[in-house]
Chain A
Amino acid sequence: MREITLTVNGQRHELTVEPRTLLVTALREELDYRGANVGCETGRCGACTVRQDGDAIKSCTRFAVQADGATIETVEGLADDDELAPIQEQFQENHGLQCGYCTPGMLMTADTFLRDADDPSREEIRDAIEGNLCRCTGYHNIVDAIEATADQLGETE
């Protein structure tokens, strides 16, 4: 067992984990951040995507001990209490989710992508979310939602 520290959505947690505990498991089961979902545990689906020190990562692809000391942001941290973040609003408006299982990961990937992307093309958006699988939407509306968010952010800048 190892003691580690994770700062999740601004809150510092100390926890004891087995060396083989995946980051996603620590977040979900030890700390009860159940937004990130597990679709494959092999780094293929992206449902477990969170932000670690600013980068979107698949939290099933690393052990919790490797994230010791890291700052983690999960889907639970996107909205400001009751106010949805722009990316969340646009997913709703553009019907970018159906069952919602891929959504937490998709949102974290998209939100991270939009921090650096300036007026991205649809193709660039498709490239950005390539590692996040969605079986329900066929991606079209997800691309719409991300495009609309980029427009919205562009206008307010």
Chain B
Amino acid sequence: MSDAEDVAESVFGSSVERREDVPLLKGEATYTDDIDLPEMTHLAIRRSDHAHARIVDVDTSDAEAMDDVVAVFTGQDVEDSGIPNAIPTAWDLPNLVQPKYRILALEKVRHEGDGVAAVVAESRHAARDAVDRIDVEYEELDHVTEPRDAVERDVPEVHEEATDNVGFDFELGDADAVDEAFADADHTASVDLRLPRIIPNAMEPRAAVADWDATTEEMRIWMTSQNPHLHRMLMAAATLGIPENKLQVIAPEVGGGFGSKIYHYPDEAVTGWASMQVERPVKWQATRSESYQTDCHGRDHDTTAEIAVDDDGTVRGLRVETYAGLGAHLSQFGSATPSYLYTTVLSGQYQIPAIHARVVGAFTNTTPVDAYRGAGRAEGIYVIERAMDVAARELDVDPVGLRKHNLVPSEDFPYESAAALVYDSGEYEHGMDTALDHVDYEALRERQAELREEGRYIGIGVASFVESAGLSPSEAAGNLGSQAGGWESAIVRFDSTGTVTLFVGTADQGQGHRTTYAQIAAEELGVSMDDIEVVEGDTDRIPQGMGTYGSRSASVGGGAVARGAREVREKARRIAAHQLEASVDDIEFSDGEFHVAGAPDRSMHIQGIAHQAYLGHDMPDDMDPGLEVTNFYDPENFTFPFGTHVAVVEVDPDTGEIDIQQYVGVDDCGEIINPMVVEGQVHGGIAQGIGAALFEGASYDEDGHLETRRMDEYAVPHSTQLPDFETDNTVTPSPHNPIGVKGVGESATIAGTPTLVAAVADALEPFDVDHLDIPITPETVWRATGGGE
């Protein structure tokens, strides 16, 4: 770290309480739905109630005649207005089919939930009432909801341009090398894995408030966004066509995201467009059912994985084929998530010399699928971890022993995997041992054997993961098809009275950025946290940014803050040298103070220098006044957080009940800015990982209707379904990140699901169960153990 390191009690690395909390605890924070503007109207969207149908006619006359209805618009009205009206993908692939994705459907609806028309009314009630009075005549078409069916069976095409519903056909790795490895290896094993759709379930449903000023032709949109700058760019360039310099996007307090608030959805564009038509502010607030139908779902993979392994446990190769559901439309990272983000982590923590993966992205008549916490990496780690367990069964060896035999050794970093990534740093065995020590693994295995004698079934699940985090180096991402940069931007500004303001391009939805960024700057600048303000989530205040996703804020956003702060500090050092009449090299910095080496009484505090910098009376000859830096930090690589999680469960084969007796998560996210925040991220991540393993999963009925359309039909885990968590950290800094940070937002979700599945499968080994698809419900267990036979 920097020479600010000798600050007596380091702020960086301590569990500082969050400055976000007080307004949230008092109910004073402003979420999008809390915004109320004069003359504001309310918008509701009429959504398709068919999975797939041709729109014959949309009759809005009854709705228009209702009291308090201001206007009713159809997809045709939007199209006729001449706006660009096409939500784009953010990631191109060589053979990617990119059908036009309009903000309101025209001619055809492709999933239940596609917007067909919109009502603007004086109240939310009036808007929702009127939506029901729009008369839409449909001609129903056959539909398909399963990705493999969409491609392999004779079903109608969701988009004419996507033959056999194939959106892309992607390959990574060396197929010949894999064939050879499989031909050569002593054993092969295979497993079929179905990862169902996860509904993200941020507790705050999506919302937008748009305020168009017809005089200045400026638009301001508040919305539930993880990346307001991305939303500004997409609405400017691709949907609304408002010049970017006349469009302001604000993400106020945002109630969770988990990926679902990254994307540009039709809804905020319709809200903005409607405000331009009625020339009044317009608010749209999704209901929970609307969220379930339209928030991008996660996962939806149908996979066959094969692993080749020698007698001594050496893994020789991995072959993976996946049908990935894209849903009815291509969302921004709908193509990136199941291709690059997924296949590149298939090596997990292991040295696997030959890997090949093929992924067919399939359009289906369902809600679009995109990145959900863990995005791609969760699916990839699930595959390799399940394959390792199945291989251990094939060899009849301990799954931990098999893993250890194949771990990438610490001395091999940077490690280039056969899945095209270069892992930055890792101490995999240390992380694994730390986790195993928490449960006393050897003793636990003995206890398991004893209990089995008594007819009780304990299972021990161990899963290791590595995550490619911190999306990403811009150039590398660009070479792979990304249509966006991977940098993050921060302005570090000393004000003339010595306070500091950080303007950062990420956007918080509960992670605590305003606290952790202040910790980073306090450390670098030697200034009290109380003197540091952090501004996020407003495109007019923060000129540029990429946003919060892919576990990137601490590493990339934090990296930009640190680099900006260091640059500011260096300018201050030169001013200090000038005013103290010493050479720059003789100026030392500690605790906010610059002093002349060997003469500690000749010193200036950085906050006093800030004042001097804005006075500008006595600057070095070649230096402009002011003390402010804009930093664009473009990382040179992903970061690679890793860890091992262990679950101990007891399964009752008679009832199918699964009791989680212990859950241990050991994460290595590099340097830790705030241990309390890291622990919180891990807890929440585990909860979502366990949720997917045991409870969650969206499904469609045979008419293509979403069955899990309300909160009582989709099992978000509640307090009595989750155990207490034991967490621990090892610390392996990222060698290329300015603050050694790797990021932690998604890790535990990635780990949680395979850990639980491994534990249940381990418990049921006496029943010859080597894998169960998720969610593993009591009924799944009951059937797998022979119930009902």
A contact residues vs B (CB 8 Å cutoff): 18, 20, 28-29, 33-42, 44-45, 47, 74-76, 78-79, 84, 88, 91-93, 95, 97-104, 107, 122, 125-127, 129-143
Choose among A41, A75, A104 the residue that contacts B288 (Cβ–Cβ < 8 A).
Answer: A41
Please give me the residue from chain A that is nearest to B20 by CB atom: A100
Q: Is B34 an interface residue, CB under 8 A from the partner? A: yes
The number of chain B residues with a CB under 8 A from chain A is 53
Please give me the residue from chain B that is nearest to A85 by CB atom: B25
Complex contact B33–A103 (CB within 8 A) = no
B contact residues vs A (CB 8 Å cutoff): 17-18, 20-22, 24-31, 33-34, 36, 125, 201-205, 253-256, 258, 287-288, 509-512, 676-677, 679-680, 683-688, 710-712, 716, 718-720, 722, 724-725
Bound complex: CA of A75 vs CA of B34, how far in Å? 15
Given the known interface contacts A42-B711, A75-B26, A136-B510, the answer about A129 and B719 at a Cβ–Cβ threshold of 8 Å is yes
Complex contact B716–A133 (CB within 8 A) = yes
B262 to chain A, nearest CB (A): 15
Complex contact B17–A98 (CB within 8 A) = no
Chain B residue contacts of A20, Cβ below 8 A: 125
Complex contact A92–B22 (CB within 8 A) = yes
Chain A residue contacts of B725, Cβ below 8 A: 138, 140
Complex contact B724–A97 (CB within 8 A) = no
Chain B residue contacts of A138, Cβ below 8 A: 683-688, 722, 725
Complex contact A134–B680 (CB within 8 A) = no
Bound complex: CA of A98 vs CA of B744, how far in Å? 14
Please give me the residue from chain A that is nearest to B690 by CB atom: A138
Complex contact B255–A37 (CB within 8 A) = yes
Bound complex: CA of A39 vs CA of B777, how far in Å? 26
Choose among A33, A99, A103 the residue that contacts B25 (Cβ–Cβ < 8 A).
Answer: A103
Choose among B21, B33, B204, B254 the residue that contacts A97 (Cβ–Cβ < 8 A).
Answer: B21
A114 to chain B, nearest CB (A): 15
Choose among A28, A35, A130, A136 the residue that contacts B718 (Cβ–Cβ < 8 A).
Answer: A130
Bound complex: CA of A133 vs CA of B28, how far in Å? 20
Chain B residue contacts of A41, Cβ below 8 A: 287-288
Supply 15 A–B pairs (Cβ within 8 Å), ascending by A: A34-B27, A37-B203, A44-B711, A47-B203, A78-B26, A84-B26, A95-B679, A99-B204, A129-B719, A133-B711, A135-B203, A135-B688, A136-B256, A139-B718, A141-B683
A56 to chain B, nearest CB (A): 15
Main secondary structure of the interface of B (DSSP, over half): loop
Chain A residue contacts of B253, Cβ below 8 A: 99-100
Bound complex: CA of A69 vs CA of B30, how far in Å? 29
Choose among A39, A100, A131, A142 the residue that contacts B29 (Cβ–Cβ < 8 A).
Answer: A100
Complex contact A98–B511 (CB within 8 A) = yes
Chain B residue contacts of A92, Cβ below 8 A: 17-18, 21-22, 25
Bound complex: CA of A95 vs CA of B511, how far in Å? 11
Given the known interface contacts A76-B26, A133-B718, A139-B719, the answer about A99 and B202 at a Cβ–Cβ threshold of 8 Å is yes
Bound complex: CA of A36 vs CA of B679, how far in Å? 27
Q: A76-B28, A127-B720, A137-B683 known; 8 other A-B pairs, CB under 8 Å? A: A20-B125, A79-B26, A92-B25, A97-B21, A107-B25, A135-B256, A135-B684, A140-B725
Complex contact A139–B26 (CB within 8 A) = no
Complex contact B27–A75 (CB within 8 A) = yes
Given the known interface contacts A39-B204, A93-B17, A137-B684, the answer about A45 and B26 at a Cβ–Cβ threshold of 8 Å is no
Bound complex: CA of A34 vs CA of B24, how far in Å? 11
Chain B residue contacts of A75, Cβ below 8 A: 25-27
Given the known interface contacts A127-B720, A129-B719, A140-B683, the answer about A101 and B203 at a Cβ–Cβ threshold of 8 Å is yes
Chain A residue contacts of B204, Cβ below 8 A: 37, 39, 99, 101
Complex contact B680–A98 (CB within 8 A) = yes
Bound complex: CA of A34 vs CA of B28, how far in Å? 7
Bound complex: CA of A75 vs CA of B22, how far in Å? 12
Chain A residue contacts of B258, Cβ below 8 A: 135
Bound complex: CA of A103 vs CA of B202, how far in Å? 13
